[in-house]
């Protein structure tokens, strides 16, 4: 009987390994967010919850595909989005991912932010979240035993469809359709790039304007596309600035107040840009400008050029 013990132990070990390598169960809400993200109709930060950003993205997708606009994932919409068996995939964390440089914490005060030489990520979880368009909490849920260290394999959103475009920091023009225009809705908190015949090229949720800083309704144009921008903080432009604040320059980085890209317009002091807080997009107020997740802002920046019309409505 003893000679069978090694075999039994081996079978049990294989069963245990096989169980540990099984992919996590993916909720329907998370599947929907991933499919929308792949289709180019961004749900914002992917967190596994079917919130308002998902409903708005579904409505925009349905409208663009001549489906009944309900904001719900009915069978026709799911069919149009396409099915998938690979909602997650295995990713091995690299030395580059964990190298940083990270900052210990992100100060809220612009005066304190200006003292930093780079507004980098606070940790590898935040960095990986941006890489895969998801929240840090979702990564933890998908990988409850993970330490998120170099060389470790984790489950992440499977890459597919429309992906973030990366370009040089000084590039200001790409080859998008000449008749495309950006439409920003203060009412619905959305950014859409579409052609003159109504074809949607880009959709994303946004935080646009506020009670104190409403959008300058009207027609404008893109005057500048700058990646990895400095942020020139001017307290005179912020209604909630402290009396002792002064003009300062805040250095580039994903946690810069305008994120990783700035798309300026000829409306003074107004532009479209990224954000250090992707989870708040569509859920909080703006100081007048149009905020998107860093990855959505980067993708839009890769599709426009100086002169692209912008309609604030």
Q: Please report whether residue 276 resides in a domain.
A: yes
Closest to 186 measured CA to CA, from 161, 164, 216: 216
Q: Please report whether residue 187 resides in a domain.
A: yes
Residue 299, domain CATH:
2.40.440.10
Q: Please report whether residue 69 resides in a domain.
A: no
Q: Please report whether residue 103 resides in a domain.
A: no
Work out whether strand 207-208 and strand 290-291 pair parallel, antiparallel, or are unpaired.
Answer: antiparallel
pLDDT of residue 159: 74
Give me the domain span that covers residue 238: 181-312
Q: Please report whether residue 137 resides in a domain.
A: no
Q: Please report whether residue 238 resides in a domain.
A: yes
pLDDT of residue 11: 37
Q: Please report whether residue 252 resides in a domain.
A: yes
If one counts the domains in the chain, the total is 1
pTM of the model: 0.86
Residues 6+ apart with CB under 8 A from 168: 227
- Ordered DSSP codes for 13-59: HHHHHHHHTSPPPPPHHHHHHHHHHHHTB--SSB-S---HHHHHHHH
Q: Please report whether residue 287 resides in a domain.
A: yes
306/2 Cα distance (integer angstroms): 77
| pLDDT per residue rounded down to tens, the chain (313 residues) | 444 444 433 333 333 333 344 566 789 999 999 999 999 999 999 999 989 999 999 999 999 999 999 999 999 999 999 877 789 999 999 999 999 899 999 998 888 998 999 999 999 999 999 999 999 999 999 999 999 999 999 999 987 655 533 333 334 445 456 789 999 999 999 999 999 999 999 999 999 976 667 899 999 999 999 999 998 877 676 655 667 666 789 999 999 999 999 999 999 889 999 999 999 997 765 555 899 999 999 999 999 999 999 999 9
pLDDT of residue 285: 56
For residue 71, what are its two tokens? 């904001």
């Amino acid at each position: 009987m003893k000679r069978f013990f090694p075999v039994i132990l081996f079978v049990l070990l294989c069963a245990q390994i096989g169980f540990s390598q099984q992919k996590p169960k993916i909720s329907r809400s998370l599947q929907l967010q991933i499919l929308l993200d792949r289709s180019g109709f961004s749900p914002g930060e992917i967190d596994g919850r079917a919130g308002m950003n998902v409903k708005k993205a579904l409505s925009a997708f349905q409208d663009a595909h001549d489906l009944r606009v309900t904001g719900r994932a009915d069978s026709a919409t799911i069919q149009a989005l396409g099915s998938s068996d690979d909602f997650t995939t295995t990713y091995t964390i690299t030395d580059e991912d964990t190298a940083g440089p990270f900052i210990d914490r992100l100060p809220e005060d612009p005066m304190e932010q200006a003292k930093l030489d780079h507004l980098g990520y606070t940790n590898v979880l935040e960095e990986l979240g941006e890489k895969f368009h998801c929240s840090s909490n979702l990564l933890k849920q998908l990988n409850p035993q993970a330490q998120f260290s170099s060389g470790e394999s984790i489950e992440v959103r499977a890459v597919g469809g429309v992906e973030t475009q990366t370009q040089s920091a000084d590039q200001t023009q790409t080859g998008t359709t000449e008749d495309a225009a950006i439409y920003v809705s203060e009412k619905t908190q959305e950014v859409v790039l579409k052609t003159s015949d109504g074809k949607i090229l880009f959709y994303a949720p946004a935080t646009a304007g506020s009670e104190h800083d409403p959008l300058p309704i009207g027609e404008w144009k893109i005057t500048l596309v700058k990646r990895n921008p400095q942020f020139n903080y001017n307290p005179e432009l912020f209604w909630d600035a402290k009396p002792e604040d002064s003009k300062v320059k805040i250095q580039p980085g994903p946690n810069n107040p305008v994120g990783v890209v700035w798309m300026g317009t000829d409306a003074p002091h107004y532009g479209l840009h990224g954000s250090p807080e992707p989870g708040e997009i569509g859920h909080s107020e703006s100081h007048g400008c149009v905020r998107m997740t860093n990855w959505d802002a980067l993708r839009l920046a890769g599709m426009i050029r100086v002169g692209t019309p912008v309609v604030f409505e």
